[in-house]
């Protein structure tokens, strides 16, 4: 059996496990895992750019917020139903990522990181400035009656979990397929040696731009899904911390691994959840854990597992 088939079967089995957990988890963890799967989808989008292409962005919150507000504003102010509103969130992600990618890729290295951060801050301030429409820091609630997709009530915990699993599963398998394709191999080659990839005749800038679009669009879809499934959109999701979070999740789980974003999100979510019940300095505990993992597991949890046990893992 080829390595690619082994990887696909392993990840399908993992999705099967998540489906079974729907029937086994108590209500608290059931709701948490649904939230984690949506946030992990956001981190997977970030991983396409950072983990596979090697571009460090500090502005991914603008893509997450683009999808969230593209969906939420059309429902709130235009009266759109969930289906068309999700399409609006998707298109907002495509347009914002294409535009920002076109401009930001005129720089490289540290400059790219700073420019993406500046664009994200501009997006955050824009949300605050147009508070009459976006309600600024307060945000807005999407009513339960509006959270219906194709006749399915997504405010119901079971439906919400299965919708989150469907989104996560589709994006996971799409990421694996993408990275096993020729396009994905070029992205990895750019990460490993951009100059050599250029010498081989590949249009590096074009591939980077497409990677930004793919990454930003997946993040936007996650943002739209988050607002729809959990009924809230707010400026907090466009702030700097939501650009830092996916970087931490990917580093913890393993950059350049398909499951790394999920494992990193799961680990950090419950680390903060447990430590916050013990002390108000819970971020200190999270910081120490991150430092220790960086020192002793430099490739992340899934990355080290792949290195030591499953070298064929995507």
Residue 139 near residue 227, CB atoms below 8 Å? no
Q: Strand 232-233 to strand 140-141: parallel, antiparallel, or no bridges (unpaired)?
A: antiparallel
Q: Helix, strand, or coil here: 66?
A: helix
pLDDT at 137: 83
Residue 192, Cβ neighbours under 10 Å: how many?
A: 10
| Residue 156 φ/ψ region, left for φ over 0, alpha for ψ in the -120 to 50 degree band, beta for the rest | beta
pLDDT at 185: 94
**Alpha carbons within 13 A on the beta-carbon side of 259:** 20
> 274 pLDDT exceeds 80?
yes
**185 class by beta-carbon count within 10 Å (0-12 exposed, 13-18 middle, 19+ buried):** middle
Residues 220-244: what's their mean pLDDT? 93
pLDDT at 149 exceeding the cut of 80: yes
pLDDT-based confidence at residue 289 (cuts at 50, 70, 90)? confident
Q: Are the C-beta atoms of 257 and 101 separated by less than 8 Å? A: no
Q: What pLDDT was estimated at residue 281?
A: 79
| Residue 18 in this model has a pLDDT that exceeds 80 | yes
Confidence of residue 260 (pLDDT cuts 50, 70, 90): very high
**Within a domain: residue 274?**
no
Region 61-86: what's the mean pLDDT? Answer: 93
In the chain, what percentage of residues exceed pLDDT 70?
100
Q: Contact at 8 Å (CB) between 272 and 248? A: no
pLDDT of residue 2: 78
Task: Look up the domain containing 47 and give its range.
Answer: 3-239
CA distance 181 to 179: 5
Structural domain contains residue 91: yes
Q: Mean pLDDT for the chain? A: 92
C-alpha neighbours within 13 Å on the C-beta side of residue 231: 14
Query: Across residues 182-203, what is the average pLDDT?
Result: 93
Supply the pLDDT for residue 179.
92
The verdict on residue 142 lying in a domain is yes
- Taking only the tens place, the pLDDT of each residue in 93-140 is 999 999 999 999 999 889 999 999 999 999 999 999 998 898 888 888
Q: Do the domain assignments include residue 89?
A: yes
Contact 258, 85 (CB under 8 A): no
pLDDT of res. 60: 94
Mean pLDDT across 205-219: 96
Q: Report if residue 82 sits inside a domain.
A: yes
Q: Is residue 270 part of a domain?
A: no
Those residues whose C-beta lies under 8 Å from the C-beta of residue 50, and which sit 6 or more positions away, are 56, 57, 247, 250, 255
- Whole-model pTM? 0.95
Q: Are 88 and 214 in contact (CB under 8 A)?
A: no
What pLDDT band is residue 310 in, cutting at 50, 70 and 90? confident
- The neighbour count for residue 203, using CB atoms within 10 Å, is 12
Query: DSSP H helical segments within the chain, as ranges?
Result: 3-24, 27-47, 61-78, 82-104, 110-129, 131-134, 157-180, 182-192, 194-199, 204-230, 241-253, 260-276, 282-296, 300-308
| Residue with the two structure tokens 């824009």 | 126
Indicate the number of domains in the chain.
1
Q: What is the pLDDT of residue 144?
A: 86
Specify the pLDDT at position 7: 85
Query: Is 252 inside a domain boundary?
Result: no
Q: Would you say residue 180 lies in a domain? A: yes
Give the pLDDT score at 209. 97
Name beta bridge partners: 27. Answer: none
Q: What's residue 218's pLDDT?
A: 97
Q: What is the reported pLDDT for 202?
A: 92
- pLDDT mean over 294-311: 87
User: In this structure, are residues 206 and 213 in contact, taking their beta carbons and an 8 Å threshold?
Assistant: no
Please write the tens of the pLDDT for every residue from 158-179: 999 999 999 999 999 999 999 9
Q: Given CA atoms 275, 276, 279, 283 in this order, what sign does their dihedral have?
A: positive
């Amino acid at each position: 059996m080829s390595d690619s088939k082994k990887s696909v079967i392993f990840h399908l089995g993992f999705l099967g496990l998540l489906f079974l957990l729907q029937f086994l988890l108590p209500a608290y963890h059931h709701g948490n895992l649904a939230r984690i799967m949506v946030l992990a989808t956001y981190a997977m989008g970030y991983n396409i750019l950072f983990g596979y292409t090697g571009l460090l962005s500090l502005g991914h919150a603008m893509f997450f917020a683009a999808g969230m507000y593209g969906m939420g504003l059309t429902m709130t102010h235009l009266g759109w139903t969930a289906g068309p509103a999700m399409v609006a969130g998707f298109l907002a992600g495509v347009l914002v990522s294409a535009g920002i990618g076109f401009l930001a890729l005129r720089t490289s290295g540290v400059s790219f990181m700073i420019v993406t951060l500046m664009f994200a801050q501009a997006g955050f301030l824009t949300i605050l400035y147009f508070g009459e429409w976006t309600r600024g820091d307060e945000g807005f609630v999407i009513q339960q009656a509006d959270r219906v997709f194709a006749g399915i009530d997504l405010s119901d915990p079971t439906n919400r979990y299965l919708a989150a699993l469907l989104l996560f599963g589709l994006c996971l398998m799409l990421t694996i397929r993408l990275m096993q394709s020729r396009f994905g191999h070029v992205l990895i080659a750019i990460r490993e040696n951009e100059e050599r990839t250029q010498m081989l005749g590949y249009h590096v800038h074009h591939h980077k731009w497409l990677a930004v679009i793919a990454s930003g669009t997946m993040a936007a879809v996650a943002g739209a899904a988050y607002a729809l499934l959990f009924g809230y959109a707010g400026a907090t999701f466009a702030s700097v911390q939501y650009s830092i979070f996916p970087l931490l999740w990917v580093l913890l789980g393993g950059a350049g691994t398909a499951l790394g974003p999920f494992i990193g999100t799961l680990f950090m979510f419950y680390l903060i959840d447990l430590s916050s019940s013990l002390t108000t300095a819970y971020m200190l505990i999270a910081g120490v854990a991150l430092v220790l993992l960086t020192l002793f597991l430099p490739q992340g949890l899934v990355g080290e597992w792949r290195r030591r046990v499953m070298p064929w893992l995507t």
